[in-house]
């Protein structure tokens, strides 16, 4: 990078112009979008873009940035434009094969990590004890399984768990495998095509079930922000009340969970009562509780055997 003469386009000039364009197009994070996209076009970090507004931008890079801004102004998500999304401290590859990981889903990873750590350290375990079996249902990009696997490896627990991530989309599974390889956990996380817990095949007792299933009511999908229209609709549409797949998964838990097994299921912020009712209907007598996300909104349904 070099300092630009006054007549040339600078980082600051391009950011101001793009911010105005994106704000007019309806972006609620126009400045942030512009900074991320310009950093991507220049192949530098966003912090570098912010720190050097005086730097000149070549015509080639400027054209690439303008094209990104145009696509963003039509609603395409920044994550798809950049090809990456930060999740639980990891940079994951994302594209239209799977849902973009949301920050609120990080709460599910935190709770899973707390549970696994508690099981592994809360009571003596035989040296030859079988690894804890974890199942990530509807893995999509692999965000939950990979973030958990990386976190457990950092804590020295990699050999104490096995993680199986499943999805009914072969394309999503291919993306998840790419992310697992990129983060060095392809040997820890297995991937398999299947519908929910796949009980039509040979069920394997599972100690911890994790799932971020589609939970948007069908009628609400069309009202989502424009960016959501670029994501797979099957990863968003949860049926008439958003609970269709969650109910199906709950009904499978008695056949899949071990005696001390636990399920952590992400829900919508308005679905706490519906989630409790679903557990009461599908699993009478099973304890259920709701954990909130960092914003204080209901986010994770926790279900245990009686």
Q: Would you kindly state where each structural domain of the chain is located, as residue ranges?
A: 11-74, 95-304
The whole-chain average pLDDT of the chain stands at 92
Structure confidence at residue 5 as a pLDDT band (50, 70, 90): very low
pLDDT at 203: 62
Output the pLDDT for position 65: 95
Please tell me the distance from the alpha carbon of residue 141 to that of residue 124, in angstroms, as a whole number.
Answer: 35
Angle between helices 106-122 and 143-154 (to 10 degrees): 40
- Cα separation, 270 vs 264, in Å, equals 17
Q: Do domains 11-74 and 95-304 have the same CATH topology?
A: no
What are the Cα distances from residue 18, in Å, to 52, 53, 191, 224, 293?
16, 14, 40, 24, 33
Tell me what pLDDT residue 1 has: 44
Give percent of the chain above pLDDT 70. Answer: 94
Token duo for residue 84: 């990456």
Q: Are 166 and 136 in contact (CB under 8 A)?
A: yes
* 199 band by pLDDT with thresholds 50, 70 and 90: low
Please indicate whether residue 27 or residue 146 has the higher confidence score (pLDDT). Answer: 146
User: Is 275 in contact with 287 (CB distance < 8 Å)?
Assistant: no
CATH architecture of 95-304: 3-Layer(aba) Sandwich (3.40)
- How confident is the model over 46-63, as a mean pLDDT? 93
CA distance linking residue 105 with residue 100, whole number of Å: 11
Distance CA 105, CA 260 (A): 24
With vertex at residue 270, the alpha carbon angle to CA 268 and CA 271, rounded to the nearest 5 degrees, is 65
Q: Please compute the mean of the pLDDT values over residues 88-103 and round it to a whole number.
A: 95
Round to whole Å and give the CA distance between 171 and 174. 5
**Phi and psi at residue 191, in whole multiples of 5°?**
-130, 140
Give the model confidence (pLDDT) of 17-28 as tens digits: 999 999 999 888
Q: What is the pLDDT of residue 86?
A: 95
| In this structure, CATH architecture of domain 11-74 | Orthogonal Bundle (1.10)
Task: Estimate the share of the chain in helix, then strand, then coil, as percent rounded to the nearest 5.
Answer: 45, 20, 35
What pLDDT sits at residue 6?
42
Whether the predicted pLDDT of 277 surpasses 50: yes
Inter-residue contact 266 to 213 (CB < 8 Å): yes
HSE-up of 152 (CA within 13 Å, CB side)?
Answer: 31
Over residues 257-262, mean pLDDT: 94
Q: Distance between CA atoms of 164 and 41, rounded to whole angstroms? A: 36
Cα–Cα distance for residue pair 21/28, rounded to 1 Å: 12
- Regarding predicted confidence, which is higher, 31 or 226? 31
How far apart are the C-alpha atoms of 58 and 291, rounded to whole Å?
A: 49
Q: Report the candidate in 302, 296, 246 with the shortest Cα–Cα distance to residue 111.
A: 302
Q: pLDDT grade, residue 124 (50/70/90)? A: low
């Amino acid at each position: 990078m070099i300092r630009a003469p006054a007549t040339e386009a600078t980082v600051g000039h391009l950011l101001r112009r793009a911010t105005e364009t994106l704000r007019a197009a309806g972006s609620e994070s126009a400045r942030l979008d512009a900074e991320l996209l310009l950093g991507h076009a220049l192949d530098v970090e966003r912090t570098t873009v912010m720190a050097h507004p005086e730097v000149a931008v070549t015509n080639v890079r400027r054209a690439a940035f303008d094209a990104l801004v145009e696509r963003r102004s039509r609603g395409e998500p920044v994550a798809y434009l950049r090809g990456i999304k930060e999740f639980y401290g990891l940079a994951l590859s994302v594209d239209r094969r799977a849902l973009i990981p949301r920050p609120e889903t990080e709460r599910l990873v935190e709770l899973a990590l707390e549970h696994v750590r508690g099981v592994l350290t809360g009571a003596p375990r035989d040296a030859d004890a079988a690894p804890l079996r974890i199942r990530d249902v509807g893995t999509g990009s692999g965000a939950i399984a990979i973030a958990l696997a990386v976190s457990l490896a950092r804590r020295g627990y990699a050999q104490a768990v096995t993680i199986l991530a499943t999805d009914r989309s072969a394309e999503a599974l291919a993306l998840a495998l790419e992310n697992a390889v990129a983060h060095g956990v392809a040997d820890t996380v297995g991937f398999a095509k299947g519908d929910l817990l796949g009980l039509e095949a040979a069920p394997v007792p599972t100690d911890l079930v994790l799932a971020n299933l589609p939970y948007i009511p069908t009628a609400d999908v069309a009202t989502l922000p424009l960016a959501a229209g670029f994501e797979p609709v099957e990863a968003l549409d949860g049926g008439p009340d958003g609970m269709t797949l969650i109910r199906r998964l709950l009904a499978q838990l008695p056949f899949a969970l071990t005696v001390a097994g636990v399920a952590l299921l992400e829900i919508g912020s308005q679905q706490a009562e519906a989630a409790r009712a679903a557990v009461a209907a599908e699993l009478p007598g099973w304890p259920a509780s709701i954990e909130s996300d960092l914003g204080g909104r209901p986010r994770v349904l926790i279900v245990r055997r009686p």
